[in-house]
Structure 1
Amino acid sequence: MPYEFITGYTNGFDDVHFVDLRSDTISKPTQAMRDSMYTAQVGDSVYGEDPSVNELERRSAELVGKEDAVFVPSGTMANLLAIMVHCQKRGSEIICGNRGHTFRFEQGGPSFIAGVSQNCLTNLDDGTFDLKEMQERIRSIGDIHEPITSLIIIENTHNMCGGRVLPLEWIDELATIAKRHNLPVHMDGARLMNAAVASKTPPARICRDVDSVCFCLSKGLAAPVGSVLAGSQQFCTLARRYRKALGGGMRQCGFLAAAGIVAIQNLERLQLDHDKTMRIAKAINNMNSDLVRVDLKSVQTNILMVHVDERRVNAQEFLQRLADVKETDTYRVSIKAASRDAGCCRFVMYWEITDEDVEMVIRKLELTILEFHARSKLVQIIDQQ
């Protein structure tokens, strides 16, 4: 089960060091954000009278190169609003990846709320999908038997593909095909700023040819709440209308927007998260384990996928041992992480993870991997007898 979490057994030890790598969503606001929230100017945002919200929306639109932007409570709502705005015809469908967030982790909202079906392509390991197949899947209003393809959705960085940055050339080619078919493209850019920093490409360039884009303030950017949805003025006007219908019309939410303004002013800090992720990945890789491995080429941002040989140990067992602390453990650290499936664990960095945390995580991983190797060898000996 994706994102199944583990509770650690620490036997009441007082000297246990805890490191939570389940997600960057658990990041807490910085002191600068807290200070900005305390002094924020506020008004009624639904009436367009909250100066802090207006400033966040203005800066965000400029950052991603769009005419306007809308502050919303969550990335899931941002994606749903984009689908509702772009898919006006009844019987519409979207084309998306089968490992994409809108398909896997948003409760089928496009279908049961927006009335839009999802036509899924197989996501490749780098987060892309085959553009030739995408073009073949496009369905027009001309055939009365079929749904009407009304939107293409891409995800950047790609969460379930390990925080991979979508290649710019691929986005450009996809946008060219979409324009040829008069189809809008929406980018689920929950971690768009990680993609921008990792690729050293301005967010506006990454989003240049998409019609709408959203990005989360509450993940690696560390703001407490919220996402931003951006597009044309016409698009955002309708998105605000639908936001109200979904219960997302917040009033004096400038307190939250103020933290978001701070969050988007220091994007380069995300590189520290990327570097810490790579340190852990290299430590695992250096063990040359055939039981637990990483693909260094795929480690690009703040998400690390650790693959286990599920014939000998499944992800849940591995995560449970990382969370548990035994009396004999040399490194007394309890690590929380998530599992994508039985063969893969996910570790995510954010600003509160220190160099000391990284070092402790590496030591506990080494200890755990060696333990499972010993267990696997013992099982092999017993099976041979």
Structure 2
Amino acid sequence: MKIDFRSDTVTKPTPEMLAAMMSAKVGDDVYGEDETVNELEHKLASMFHMEAGLFCPSGTMTNQIAIKCFTQPMDEVICDQTAHVYRYEGGGIAYNSMASVRLLHGQRGILTPEMIEPEVNEENIHYPKSSLVVLENTVNKGGGKCYTLDQIAAIHHLCAVKGIKLHLDGARLFNALVATGDRASDYGQYFDGISICLSKGLGAPVGSVLLGSAAMIKQAKRVRKVLGGGMRQAGFLAAAGIYALDHHVQRLAEDHQHAKALAAALTETNYVESVMPVETNIVLFDVAKGFKADEVVHALGKKGILCNTTSNKTIRLVTHLDISAAMIDQTIDVISKLAI
């Protein structure tokens, strides 16, 4: 049996989620006539106290649509140098929005107003216009590190003073909410756009929702069409998202505990130099001197434990709803006895 820690995107729908999908009421969403898509968009917008939502195939699409809506060609996007919108979205900021990027070096990807303010360009024809700040919560490359609402509020205040839009890549936002105890309803006041991914920790097979003002979502729907993201009877997919929101949020705490157990086991081995502190469901660890990350991954794979490298010395494991407590125990046993 393989135990798959490569990502929380590898999950399969539960039987109950499949049943919800198969019984969904559907229509043509491009005409706005899919009842289940409309329900999902309204549900998330209400949850985060925002005006409207737009269901899309992926978090990359919701992020790229938001950036397109909040910038003009020759503008500049400010984000951390590890940000998903910069590293893992195929150069989409340049391709889709014709904007440049100002990269900051946050602590595990977490930005502060003190980092951002000096990088906001003054009005000058030689400089791109600083028009958007993008945050990521949780921070993937930061090992699932979370922003708190107080940190977000301070950045929002700076953006408001500077006249800059603020977007959140919330790929694993519900992990952050469960870990911090913050409320979704407090988020809408701080962001012009929020991208919510349903296919990671929440376990839906496909889909993300972009949240924003009614006017922004109207524009976003046009951009989605241009990007080829208009779907027809998408309610079958939206139903999985609704089921996930109703049944899979609080159980994220279990994934977090599993990740912490794995981290504790890794610290006791001779082939691990350090483990990044675990807050949510991502475990990042560096291999010790004399070991290679890809060799450790290969050795774990031979024992049925699947994971990925993120650099030549760093390995990532991600817990999710398809990982049981028994699987964690088995993995810890493999980790403790692994000979490389």
Q: Which of residues 292, 302, 323 is equivalent to 1:314?
A: 292
Task: Work out whether 1:98 is the aligned partner of 2:77.
Answer: no
Give 1:50-89 correspondences, 5 Å limit. Answer: 50-87=34-71, 89=72
Aligned residue for 2:317? 347
Matches of 2:311 and 2:63, distance apart in 1: 24
**CA shift in 2, pair 1:207/1:160, >3 Å:** farther
Give the Å deviation of 1:308: 1.0
Give the Å deviation of 1:344: 1.1
**Paired amino acid for 1:25:** T
Give 1:166-177 correspondences, 5 Å limit. Answer: 166-177=147-158
Give the Å deviation of 1:202: 1.2
Q: Secondary structure at the match of 1:279?
A: helix
Aligned residue for 1:219? 200
Structure 1 or 2, whichever has the larger Rg, is 1
Equivalent pairs: percent with the same residue?
37
Give the Å deviation of 1:258: 0.7
Deviations 1:283-303 (A, max 9, x none): 223x264744324xx201111
Matches of 1:301 and 1:38, distance apart in 2: 32
Aligned residue for 1:47? 31
Matches of 1:317 and 1:352, distance apart in 2: 25
Matches of 1:288 and 1:313, distance apart in 2: 12
TM-score relative to the length of structure 1: 0.85
Aligned residue for 2:239? 258
Matches of 1:45 and 1:34, distance apart in 2: 20
Q: Secondary structure at the match of 1:69?
A: strand
Matches of 1:208 and 1:50, distance apart in 2: 28
Give the Å deviation of 1:116: 1.2
Give the Å deviation of 1:165: 0.7
Matches of 1:288 and 1:219, distance apart in 2: 29
Q: Secondary structure at the match of 2:30?
A: coil
**Paired amino acid for 2:97:** A
**CA shift in 2, pair 1:207/1:308, >3 Å:** farther
Give the Å deviation of 1:161: 0.4
Aligned residue for 2:308? 338
Give 1:1-385 correspondences, 5 Å limit. Answer: 17-87=1-71, 89-125=72-108, 127-140=109-122, 142-266=123-247, 267-285=249-267, 287=268, 289=270, 291-295=272-276, 298-309=277-288, 311-324=289-302, 333-368=303-338, 371-372=339-340
**Paired amino acid for 1:313:** F
TM-score relative to the length of structure 2: 0.97
**Paired amino acid for 1:212:** G
- Gap regions ≥5 residues in structure 1: 1-16, 325-332, 373-385
Matches of 2:291 and 2:271, distance apart in 1: 12
Runs of 4+ with >6 A deviation: none
- Gap regions ≥5 residues in structure 2: none
**Paired amino acid for 1:65:** H
Give the Å deviation of 1:130: 4.4
Matches of 1:291 and 1:64, distance apart in 2: 40
Is the contact made by 1:291 and 1:312 (CA closer than 8 Å) also made in structure 2?
Answer: no
How many equivalent pairs are there?
A: 339
